[in-house]
Amino acid sequence: MGWLRRSGPGRFGKLAASLASWGTAPYHGRAFLADLQPEGFIAPSASISHQGLKLGRNVYIGDKVVASSSNDGGIVELGDRVQLYGDTFLETGSGGSIHIGEGTHVQPGCHIHAHLTEIRIGRNVEIASGCGFFSYDHGIEPGIPIMDQPITSKGGITVGDGAWLGYRVTVLQGVTIGAGAVIGAGSVVVRDIPENAIAAGTPAKVIKYRTIGHN
């Protein structure tokens, strides 16, 4: 507990985190460290440069997680007991912010990029490995290189409480995924998905509902 209390994103904090996690298993096997103190646990290999990062209680930030901002990006707010696993990338740009509700789990290799508008993920959401969230797009006017065109947005992204996104789901700008919805692996979500719906495909379409008696 001594080293754990001294752990954090700074140079000495990283050393303390390394000692606190010595001998623990990687991935889920290390998440219990966040439960041992309200300040949670940030893995020593995480790269946290985002000045607007706000952490709730007992947050776990795993190996090689990156949190950064560009062009005066807005805040990244992680609620109580949020767990971010290895190689997840969070970024905000001008006008963008990220809010993740308490108890939500983000598995390895996810990308969450909020520019111009917010990305708001609810409580107790299960997000499988390799998912991507993008609240903006590049202009595609002819005669101008794509990288020189301004970014645009049709609106933010909202994911309701208790939803489950399968492996490598992509969620694009202006989309709301309702509470309790399930999105099948590999789907691309380009339009709203109702509460308790099960949707899959590219683009994702509702195939049935979890609610008994729902037609």
Q: Which residues are catalytic?
A: 138
Calculate the alpha carbon distances from 124 to 15, 33, 41, 121, 160 in Å.
31, 19, 19, 9, 9
Asked if residues 41 and 28 have their Cβ atoms less than 8 Å apart, the reply is: no
What's the CA gap between 181 and 170, in Å, rounded?
15
| Helix %, strand %, coil % of the chain (to 5) | 15, 35, 55
Q: Are 120 and 158 in contact (CB under 8 A)?
A: yes
Phi, psi dihedrals of residue 12, rounded to the nearest 5°: -65, -35
- Contacts of residue 192, defined as CB under 8 A and 6 or more positions apart, other chains included, come to 175, 176, 177, 178
